[in-house]
Structure 1
Amino acid sequence: MPKKERKRLQVVISEEQDALLTRTAYELSSPERLISKSEVVRLAIEKIAQELGEGDHLDQYRALLDTEGVTDES
């Protein structure tokens, strides 16, 4: 069976965001299965998309994106 092709995305995150990502991966991990930071990001994308599809939290996400810690550094 051929391996599923995935797209790669590189983003710049702050040290605080990396620490949150690491802590989240650690908390989701169990002795039987370690969760990677990439898996946490994929989970977050799916969760946000699901909530937006249901019309939930739209204003909250927009407010978060307006804060300095979440914006792109172009």
Structure 2
Amino acid sequence: MPKKERKRLQVVISDEQDALLTRTAYELSSPERLISKSEVVRLAIEKIARELGEGEHLEEYRAILETEEVGEEEA
């Protein structure tokens, strides 16, 4: 069976965001299965896309992104 082809995406994240990813991966992990930070990112993408498709949280996500853009521009 051929291996599933995946696209790679590189993004720059803050130390705080990396810590959130690490903590989330740890919390989702179990003794039987460790969850990677990449899996957390994929899960978040699917969750956000599903919510937007259902018309949920659109303004909330926009507000978060606008706040983050201001913080990034100041850096």
Alignment TM-score, normalising by the size of structure 1: 0.92
Q: Runs of 4+ in structure 1 displaced over 3 angstroms?
A: 69-73
Q: CA-atom RMSD, angstroms?
A: 1.9
Residue 57 of structure 2 corresponds to: 57
Q: Please give the alpha-carbon distance, in whole angstroms, between the structure 2 residues aligned to 1:69 and 1:57.
A: 18
Assess if the C-alpha contact under 8 Å between 1:65 and 1:71 holds in 2.
no
Higher helix share: 2
- Residue 40 of structure 1, CA deviation: 0.1
> Which has the higher relative contact order, 1 or 2, with Cα contacts under 8 A spaced 6 or more apart?
1
How many residues were matched structurally? 73
Residue 22 of structure 1 corresponds to: 22
1:15-49 Cα distance to aligned partner (Å, 9 max, x none): 00000000000000000000000000000000000
Distance 1:9 1:66, change over 3 A: same
Percent sequence identity over matched residues?
A: 86
Q: Please give the alpha-carbon distance, in whole angstroms, between the structure 1 residues aligned to 2:70 and 2:5.
A: 28
Residue 45 of structure 1 corresponds to: 45
Query: Given residue 35 of structure 1, which amino acid in structure 2 is its aligned partner?
Result: I
Alignment TM-score, normalising by the size of structure 2: 0.91
Structure 1, unmatched stretches of 5+, are none
Higher mean C-alpha deviation, range 24-33 or range 64-73: 64-73
